Amino acid sequence: MKGALIGCGFFAENQMKAWQSLPEVEIVAVCDPDPARREHFQTHFGVTQTFAEAQALFEQCRPDFVDIAAPTPAHESLVRLAADHGVAIICQKPFAGSPDRAKALIQYCEHRGVSLSVHENFRWQYAVREVIRRVRDDEIGTPFFGRISYRNGFDVYQNQPYLARAERFIIEDLGIHVLDIARALLGDVSRLSCETNRINPGIQGEDVATMMLRHDGGATSIVDCSYATHLTPDPFPQTLIDIDGTRGSLRLTADERIYIHTRDGCQCHKVTAHGPDWSTPPWTIIQESVVAFQAHWLECHHAGVEADTSGRDNYNTLALVDAAYEAAAHHTVMMPKRWS
């Protein structure tokens, strides 16, 4: 398959390297308005076709699919443009600025007959995949409580300085991943409450958020995120997970182990991610998950089925983000929108 990458920023390098590690894919073109970024991708990745505007890319290149890694405000126009050219779409999260806009894009792509998937890689991290598998395989019975926690003091602003200027920060940029894990583990959400805080005085948005979710199946979960938590060693970029079920409990801990506790005792399973040969600590966990997601997308595309993180599925995650900000602003409980 021939693909094109739109957006050549910091994280897009991971997507580019991951595509190049998959033998059935060739990224034949990249697009970015910044000439320095285009030159960097051309030099480092051997991409011969570079474009400053997406319209020219689609007219001259005609890829089979497009991977949109541009900033969120550009997603809507790029998704519509790709759909108009009949190109399968992968779009970085959040793929729209609101649930209403997301719904319009999903329907637009369906009307044009093109697939829309969202690059949601956290649920594809090896340890998280193992937790999801064990919960779905009924190893601890029916879950009734969960805690999905992402807390560290990593300097995310060094590589992505625009995050310090975002009015909506940790929930929209990071919490969306953790909320998606909660959905993958415990199902969709009927009610949500949220409190936020800003600890770092040099940023515009919130860097701490705590959310309580009531899931359709009856489970309650706590989703908590922080970039203001100082720990040694720092667990970045790990997500730590606790799940209590009717027959046992599961713990994913910072030592890259899953502990299964039942009446019969405790079992321990090592879940260290084996990243691609180009991965570099501390990013190995995330870089491995990018490859895993893209391989999953390819498999689904060839089979003619939706990816697990299709636009319709991810709509329900995006709706949780929107509900969390509303709940925090009004100190109330929200009923998130739901794709139907």
Residue-wise pLDDT for 145-163, tens only, equals 999 999 999 999 998 999 9
Q: What pLDDT was estimated at residue 330?
A: 98
Q: Cα(74)–Cα(119) distance, rounded to whole angstroms?
A: 15
Of 55, 118, 127, 73, the C-alpha closest to 91 is 118
pLDDT greater than 90 at residue 279: yes
Return residue ranges of the chain for CATH 3.40.50.720: 2-119
Q: How far apart are CA 157 and CA 74, in angstroms?
A: 21
Radius of gyration of the chain (CA): 20
Look at residues 306, 186, 287 and name the one whose alpha carbon lies nearest to residue 243.
186
**How far apart (Å, rounded) are the C-alpha atoms in residues 314 and 320?**
10
Residue 334 β-bridge partners: 192
Residue range 82-107: mean pLDDT, rounded: 97
Q: Quick count: other Cβ atoms within 10 Å of Cβ 53? A: 12
Under 8 Å between Cβ of 201 and 155: no
Q: What is the mean pLDDT of residues 99-103?
A: 96
- Whether 337 and 322 have beta carbons less than 8 Å apart is answered as yes
Please name the residue that has the structure tokens 């590589």.
159
Whether residue 208 contacts residue 226, with contact meaning beta carbons closer than 8 Å, is answered with: yes
Q: What is the CATH number of domain 2-119?
A: 3.40.50.720
**Domain spanning 122-272+310-330: which CATH class is it, in words?**
alpha beta
pLDDT at 337 over 90: yes
- Whether residue 29 is predicted with pLDDT greater than 90 in this model: the reply is yes
Measuring CA to CA, which residue among 50, 99, 57 is closest to residue 82? 57
Mean pLDDT of 35-53: 96
Q: CA distances (Å), 235 to each of 154, 180, 253, in order?
A: 9, 20, 10
Identify any residues that bridge with 194 across adjacent strands, giving them in sequence order: 211
Cis link prior to 94 (omega < 30° from 0)?
Answer: yes
| pLDDT at residue number 179 | 98
Is the per-residue pLDDT at 116 higher than 90?
Answer: yes
Task: Say what the pLDDT of residue 31 is.
Answer: 98
The stretch 100-129 carries a mean pLDDT of 97
DSSP H or E run through 215: strand 208-215
**Beta pairing, strands 65-68 & 88-92:** parallel
For residue 340, the model assigns a pLDDT of 80
Structure tokens at 93: 């999260």
Q: Where in the chain is the domain with CATH 3.30.360.10?
A: 122-272+310-330
- Residue 124's nearest CA partner among 278, 288, 337 is 288
Contact assessment for residue 81 and residue 58, using Cβ atoms and an 8 Å cutoff: yes
Give me the mean pLDDT over the 70-89 stretch: 97
pLDDT, average across residues 126-135: 98
* Residues β-bridged to residue 146: 221, 243
Average pLDDT over residues 207-236: 97
Query: Which tokens hold the place of 287?
Result: 């870089």
Task: Work out the pLDDT band at 321, boundaries 50, 70, 90.
Answer: very high
Q: Are 175 and 321 in contact (CB under 8 A)?
A: yes
pTM: 0.97
Strands (E), the chain: 2-6, 26-31, 49-51, 65-68, 88-92, 116-119, 143-151, 189-197, 208-215, 220-226, 240-245, 249-253, 257-262, 265-270
Per-residue confidence at 307, pLDDT binned at 50, 70, 90?
very high
pLDDT band at 251 (very low <50, low <70, confident <90, very high): very high
Contact (CB, 8 A) for 135 and 243:
yes
Backbone φ and ψ for 116, nearest 5 degrees, come out as -125, 120
Residue with tokens 């995120």: 225
